[in-house]
Amino acid sequence: MWLNMPDFTYDIEDIDLAQQGLKRMDWVRERMPVLHGIKEDFTRTKLFDGLRIGICLHVEAKTGVWLEALAGGGAQIAITGSPGTAQDEVAAALVAEYGIQVFARKSETFDRHLDYAARVLATEPDLIVDNGADIHMLALTNPDFSRAKSKIIGATEETTTGGFRLREEITAHVFPTIVINDSRAKRIIENRYGVGQSVVDGIMRCSNLLIGGRRTTVIGYGYCGQGIARALRGLGAHVTIVDIDPLTRLEAHTEGYTTAELEEALPTSDFVITVTGRPDALRREHLALLKDGAVLCNAGMFETEIDLPGLRELSVESNPIMPDIRRFSLENGKTIYLLGEANSVNLSAGDGNPIEIMDLGLAMQSLSLAYLASKGRTLPAGPQNVPGEIQNEVAVRTLRAWTRS
């Protein structure tokens, strides 16, 4: 049994949660028909035989079902997640039942997360799946990992933020990286419809508050922000959009939303959501303007969208009052409630994107990895879009699954 093998390392909360994790995955598996078809293909072709895949992606039930498909294709897998988003029971199931090296805990800090990313890279994977470019940063900028770097055939990057970092912070690419977020399927279907629903679900689940009639501000009106605004409006909220790009503000106005500067919107907003993909969308001076009792959360990739050190400096006291709610008592006398410690609220306070949406997103990951496994060495180094034929193939398979009667 792998659990006793010396090189089978892992770090999770509690291995005894495995049965609970398997039950969670059962519910999900039955609702992921596109991945099911891909798993059958991979199991037949054994495309990943002899290959190691190192992954950074939220360790939750949908990811778990996807890993079954990769393992079916013969891959050896090591995975870590993101701070605050791991489902500990799924982590346990993946270790105990599938022999996957998991480094993830719901309680992990950002520093621990970086350490886990390093442990995944230390397994010297042939293929990388990244989520925010942390593994890329280690592989491409840290000389300790030069041996691991030389083994990598290719990689994928899931997110908007990771795509920015690959293009803006890394100069020397040595292997191809397919940026899943560059695809129309990810942006339009997942970011707009999936994130919209799941972010509002996360807010409602952990706060149990009414959305209808409430003043809400969405900071960042990209694909995710559009989806969140649409979901909030669907529930009857008054939605104000803040975006640094004038054309985007015009688009939001034309869609019927109020547009405003942060300074105008914050003093009257009951809910404030950041989703820009950039650090410091809400800085210390903005936080002081929030309405007394405002509920604050982040839907972007990193909690740095909100200046948390600044929020702590402005506060005389901060206490967790519910599992995903922290109360800050500010020196100006106001009280602010932060959801999910500013980690992506749909994952930290909910179950992440809807299952069907991730069926599509993870299908795109699967076919991109298959493409890299067979053609990676012939592709140019650096970030690139998902090949058109893969996007079309996933769209065809998904539409077929969603319209089947």
Per CB under 6 A, residues contacting ligand NAD are: 159-161, 191, 195, 219-225, 242-245, 248, 275-278, 281, 299-301, 344, 346, 353
Q: How far is the CB of 113 from ligand NAD (least distance, A)?
A: 15
Smallest gap from Cβ 353 to ligand NAD, in A, equals 6
Per the DSSP assignment, residues forming a β-bridge with 335 are 329
- What gap in Å lies between CA 107 and CA 85, rounded to an integer? 8
Cβ proximity to ligand NAD, 274 vs 366, nearer residue: 274
Strands (E) located in 275-334? 295-298, 315-322, 325-330
Q: At what angle do helices 355-375 and 61-72 cross, to 10 degrees?
A: 30
Q: Which residues of 205-231 are buried (b: 16+ CB within 10 A; e: fewer)?
A: bbbeeebeebbbbbbbbbbbbbbbbbb
Q: How far is the CB of 188 from ligand NAD (least distance, A)?
A: 10
Cβ 245 to ligand NAD shortest distance, Å: 4
Q: Is residue 394 within a helix (H) or strand (E), and if so which, with residue range? A: helix 388-403
Nearer to ligand NAD, 72 or 83 (CB): 83
Cβ atoms of residues 218 and 229 within 8 Å: yes
Instruction: Classify burial at 170, counting beta carbons within 10 Å of its beta carbon; exposed 0-12, middle 13-18, buried 19 or more.
Output: middle
**Shortest distance, position 257 Cβ to ligand NAD, whole Å:** 13
E strands present in 5-133: 52-56, 76-80, 101-103, 127-130
Phi, psi torsion values for 182, nearest 5 degrees: -75, -15
Residue 26: closest CA among 64, 69, 58: 64
Q: How far is the CB of 274 from ligand NAD (least distance, A)?
A: 8
Bridge partners of residue 80, in order along the sequence: 56, 103
CB of 359 to ligand NAD, least distance (A): 15
- Residue closer to ligand NAD, measured from CB, 172 or 247: 247
We find the least distance from the C-beta atom of residue 246 to ligand NAD, in angstroms, to be 9
CB 234 to ligand NAD: min, Å: 18
Decide whether 140 or 273 has the Cβ nearer to ligand NAD: 273
**Sole residue written with tokens 């990739």:** 301
Question: Of 67 and 358, which has the nearer Cβ to ligand NAD?
Answer: 358
For residue 396, give the DSSP letter: H
Q: Which is nearer to ligand NAD, 96 or 266 (CB)?
A: 266
The CB-nearest residue to ligand NAD is 222
Closer residue to ligand NAD in complex, CB, 269/276: 276
Cβ-based nearer residue to ligand NAD, 22 or 296:
296
AA identity, residue 72: G
Nearer to ligand NAD, 72 or 350 (CB): 350
3-state secondary structure of 156: strand
The tokens describing 225, both together, are: 């922000």
Sheet containing strand 382-385, strands side by side: 101-103, 76-80, 52-56, 127-130, 154-157, 176-179, 382-385
Q: By C-beta, is 99 or 279 nearer to ligand NAD? A: 279
Q: What's the closest the beta carbon of residue 345 comes to ligand NAD, in angstroms?
A: 7
**Cα–Cα distance, 237 to 269 (Å, whole number):** 11
Amino acid identity for residue 234 in this structure: G
